[in-house]
Structure 1
Amino acid sequence: MAVLAGLQPENVFEFFEEISSIPRPSFHCEKISEYCVEFGKKKGLFVSQDEMGNVIIKKPGTKGYENAQPVILQGHLDMVAEKVGHSTHDFMEDGLDLYIEDGFIKAKDTTLGADNGIAVAMVLALLDGDSYKHPPIEAVFTVDEETGMGGAHALDFSQLSGKRLINLDSEEEGILTAGCSGGFRFQFDIPMEKETVSGSLVDISIHGLKGGHSGQEINLQRGNAHKMMGRFLSFLLRKTEFYLLSLEGGSKDNVISMISAVKILVAEGQEHVVEETVEYFRNVWEKEFGKDEPDLAVDLLIERKRCESVFTKESTKRGINFVEIIPNGVFEFSRSLKDLVETSSNLGFIHTGEKGISGACMVRSSIDSKMEQLKDVLYTSLELCQGNAELSGEYPGWKYKEESPLRNVMTAVYRKLFHKEPEVMAVHAGLECGLFLGKNPDLDCISCGPEMFDVHSVRERLSIASTKNTWEYLLAVLEELND
């Protein structure tokens, strides 16, 4: 029996549950892309699929709207694939295990993928229905949004005639997003040398952190496990010598790292220094984070009399220094929009190989010059530690437009429907609208969506009531766009 059966709007949640049964992590959208293609063909609609897996489906306007200007409705097919440590879920093969709790839809031990599955579900419900009033619809489903917007980069915009675009990738009801930051992915590696040493093997794990979206939640100052580990190891290195074996944690550059695990080798007789340092930082972080990170934990395991292949002292120091000094968190706040983060960087993941450590950061800014400044800081940090870097997935910001007929319509409809004013704002997160505007500067774009929380984390949840409100709002907006 369907978990979401009986929820309203019924057709939207039916599609959402069906989508949730299809594996669709970033870079692996083949199945969900084919699903959309088959859906469009069964409905007898125009369907186009490119080599990346982006899908465009077109539906004529309903009676009385045949000659109205088309509206582009857009969402992305991929999802951030995160799970709790003990989960056996396979994002390449398994559907999500949905459940309902306290008015929210959640997924057991994994991300929910409401970012941006609920947008796909809403658009499919519109394409499927026959009773809604709407202008011609050009539905655009992109791939790999969460990992550098590769789908949007590749999309052939010449297939679209619409000049009005509603992006459904926002996560706060009552907010119309009219601008966003640009960004890029900063991938690094630090070459390191090895030797064989005897001593006590120490495993240290920092875990239990909330994590979250590296754009929209970076201002909350949640703990980044890697930066905490860098601080810990740098402090410990001043207390006693040790050798690094491995440093691991995280899987996505746009997720605030919830876990960082390190293996080091210390001289026998120095184990107590590590134990004391762990206890010291447990107390320090408990005071610093207070109630903001209630499940934070630091685990320690020591195995004596081991002989291991380790990174040399000099390599160990360089690797730890980089994790300690690399910028992370809010870099600057906006000078024009109160409380909006302007520029930030997130150290998302770190992995260890035979030749050193590697990882990636996600950098965002609404001002190009500030993004370039942070780029220089990252390169300088890496140069000091003799590392290498590669930039990828760079995308432009979306500058707020003073004049927007679409925004005017959507504001008026919201006011009429809910008897209050929507909030119009820019966000410190990447939306594909910036790339689309680069392909067609005449576009009039707005982003909206239902209320969801803790996206990009295993606590991700979607409000059922807000989804209903957003669906009714979208229908009302489309009914108004008859010009």
Structure 2
Amino acid sequence: MSVLSEIEPKEVFRFFEEISAIPRGSMDTKRISDYLVKFAKDRDLKVIQDEVNNVIIFQPGTEGYEDSEPVILQGHMDMVCEKTSDSDHDFKKDGLKLYVEDGYLKAKDTTLGGDDGIAVAMALTLMDSNDIPHPPVEVVFTVDEELGMDGAEAIDLSVLKGKKLINIDSEEERTLTVGCAGGVRYQSLIPVEKETVSGEKIEIQIKGLLGGHSGEEIHRQRGNANKMMGRLLYHMESKAEIYLSEIYGGSKDNVIAMEAVASIVVAENDAEKIVSMIRDMEAIWNTEFMGEEPGLTVNVQTTKEKDIEVFSKDTTKRVVGFLAACPNGLQEYSRKVAGAAETSLNLGTVEMKENGVEAAFLIRSSVDSRKQQILEQVDAVTKAFGGTGTISSTYPAWQYNPDSQLRPIMEAAYKEVYKKDPEICIIHGGLECGLFLGKRPDLDCVSCGPDVLDIHSFNERLDIASTQRSWEFLKLVLKNCK
């Protein structure tokens, strides 16, 4: 039975419900890509599916618009897969469990995929209709945006004739986005040596943090479980001899880490002191966050262990020191736009590998030299603690175009629908427009979308009324692109 059948706009939410039944996490996009191809073929629309599963669908203009210049609509088909620690949802097999609450669309215990499923649903609704006036549209659905914009990197845009590109991947209805930060990924690897000890094993779990998108939410100074664990371990290591036996945290480098786990071994006569220090730090965090991390919980479990394999004393010091010393969070505000984030980085994941402990960072900046500065800073800290680094997934900033022809059309439509002017903004999160402009410098790009809150977290929710207004706005923009 449909959950969303009575929600307006009905057709948009019908398609959103359909795609929500298809697992579509990053690197698992074949099924949703094939769904889009079938959609096009069922309607006799020209479609291209490339080797990485990007899809482009072409639809002619409606009556009176047949000879108009095509407009490109664009969104990504993959979603971030996050869930609560007690959820049994399998993102490889299960569709999302959608429900409506207090005017928002949500998914039970998981991310919703409003980022960027709403773009897919709106584009499908447009192409499924015969009575929405619009010029020819070239609809670009990319894959793996959330992992580093790999689909946008691979796609061939030479098949497109349009120059005006509407990206439907913004999450604030009040804004039209006309630029974004660039980014680069960095993986630190701290080598590990092991030994065997006996003592009291203490398992520590930091959980319940709000997390969120590492670009859109970084200025909110939300707790990062990986950095918090580094702080706690360093504090304990300064007061007692500890040996790490296990450490991991976070799920993706573009998600602020909501959980982290570490296991340490200490002398039995130090165990009570260490547990007390953990409880003290939990109280300190609650004071520092001033109620802004209401779900924060630190779980502790102790067991006696004999001859357990642990990191050596030197390795423990290096891993703990690295986690405590590495930079994280907002680094610079914009000097041009008051209150806007310019440069940041996120320690997204910490994992144990065969050859060491790996920490993954996503660095963002709208200023290339600042991005390079933070990259060198992380590299310097990594090397200072005996590690090595790997750079990947560099993507450019999207620079503001003062001569845009699309922006005035969208501003006028916005004012007609909302009876006020939109905010014109440059965002800190990454959008695929920068990569598209690298391939097609003649493109004229603007990004828009309805309100989607707490993306990249299991608290993600889509504002239903905002979606209806955004749909009316998009239809008017297309009607005016004649």
Instruction: Report TM bin, short chain.
Output: over 0.9
For residue 465 of structure 2, what is the amino acid of its counterpart?
A: A
Spell out, residue by residue over 1:167-197, the C-alpha distance to the aligned partner (whole angstroms, 9 max, x if none): 0000011210000000011122111100111
Could you say which residue in structure 1 is the equivalent of 2:108? 108
SS at match of 2:291: helix
Map residues 450-461 of structure 1 onto 2, 5 A cutoff.
450-461=450-461
Q: Does 1:331 align with 2:331?
A: yes
Q: Which amino acid aligns with 1:55?
A: V
1:303 matched to which residue of 2?
303
Q: Are the equivalent residues in 2 in contact too, given 1:343–1:371 (CA < 8 A)?
A: yes
Equivalent runs, 1:187-226 vs 2, <5 Å = 187-226=187-226
Note the 1:16-415 alignment, pairs <5 A: 16-415=16-415
Runs of 4+ in structure 1 off by over 3 angstroms are none
The TM-score with structure 2 as length reference comes to 0.99
1:356, distance to aligned residue in structure 2 (A): 2.0
Give me the whole-angstrom Cα distance separating, in 2, the residues matched to 1:187 and 1:396.
19
Q: Spell out, residue by residue over 1:230-281, the C-alpha distance to the aligned partner (whole angstroms, 9 max, x if none).
A: 0011111110011111111211100000011100000121102211211210
Asked if 2 retains the 8 angstrom alpha-carbon contact of 1:60 and 1:135, the reply is: yes
Measured in 2, the distance between the counterparts of 1:128 and 1:306 equals 66
Alignment of 1:439-458 (within 5 A): 439-458=439-458
Cα distance in 1, alignment partners of residues 104 and 445 from structure 2 = 29
Rounded to whole Å, the distance in 1 between the matches of 2:311 and 2:374 is 29
Following the alignment from structure 2 to structure 1, what is the Cα–Cα distance between the partners of residues 450 and 444? 21
- What is the alpha-carbon distance in structure 1 between the residues aligned to residue 359 and residue 110 of structure 2? 22
What is the one-letter code of the residue matched to 2:200?
A: S
Letter in 1 for 2:116: N
Give the superposition deviation at 1:305: 4.0
Residue 436 of structure 1 aligns with an amino acid whose one-letter code is: F
Structure 1's unaligned 5+ residue stretches are none
Distance 1:387 1:27 in 2: 28
C-alpha distance in 1 between matches for 2:144 and 2:197:
43
Deviations 1:9-30 (A, max 9, x none): 1111000000000000001100
Residue equivalent to 2:478: 478
Amino acid at match of 1:100: V
How far apart are residue 401 of structure 1 and its match?
1.4
Cα contact 1:166–1:448 (8 A) shared by 2: yes
Q: Which residue in 1 is equivalent to 2:462?
A: 462
CA deviations on 1:26-62 (whole Å, 9 max, x unpaired) are: 0110000000001001110010000010000000111
Q: Deviations over 1:301-340 (max 9, x none)?
A: 1112432000100000101111111110001010001111
Matches within 5 A, 1:413-428: 413-428=413-428
- Kept in 2: contact 1:268–1:305 (CA 8 A): no
Residues 180, 430 of structure 1: 8 Å contact kept: yes
Amino acid paired to 2:144: D
How many Å apart are 1:355 and its aligned residue? 3.1
Task: State the secondary structure of the residue aligned to 1:187.
Answer: strand
Check the 8 A contact 1:172/1:452 in 2, yes or no. yes
Query: 1:290 Cα deviation (Å)?
Result: 1.0
Amino acid at match of 1:201: K
CA distance in 2, matches of 1:122, 1:391: 36
2:452 counterpart letter in structure 1: M
Secondary structure at 1:292's aligned position in 2?
Answer: coil
In structure 2, give the amino acid aligned to 1:17: E
TM-score, length of structure 1 as denominator length: 0.99
Percent identity (aligned): 52
Deviation per residue, 1:201-255 (Å, 9 max, x gap): 1101111100001000000000000101100111111100111111112111000
How many residues are matched?
Answer: 482
Contact 1:202/1:263 (8 A) holds in 2: yes
* Residue identity in the other structure for 1:325: A
The whole-number CA distance in structure 2 between the counterparts of 1:251 and 1:284 is 25
Residue type of the partner of 1:406?
Answer: L
CA contact (8 A) 1:239 1:273 kept: no
Tell me what 2:430 maps to. Answer: 430
CA contact (8 A) 1:452 1:460 kept: yes
Structure 2 CA distance for aligned equivalents of residues 301 and 239 of structure 1: 20
Give the residue type in structure 1 aligned to 2:114.
A
Structure 2: distance between partners of 1:60 and 1:462:
30
**CA distance, structure 1, for counterparts of residue 154 and residue 283 of structure 2:** 49
Cα separation, 2, equivalents of 1:356 and 1:28? 28
Q: Distance in 2 between matches of 1:419 and 1:133?
A: 22
Is the Cα–Cα contact under 8 Å of residues 201 and 306 in structure 1 kept in the other structure? no
Deviations 1:139-179 (A, max 9, x none): 00000000000000000010111100000000011210000
Quote how far apart the aligned CAs of 1:354 are: 4.1
Query: 2:18 corresponds to which letter in structure 1?
Result: E
Letter in structure 2 aligned against 1:158: S
Determine the C-alpha separation between the residues in 2 that align with 1:190 and 1:212: 26
Letter of the 1:421 partner, please give it: D
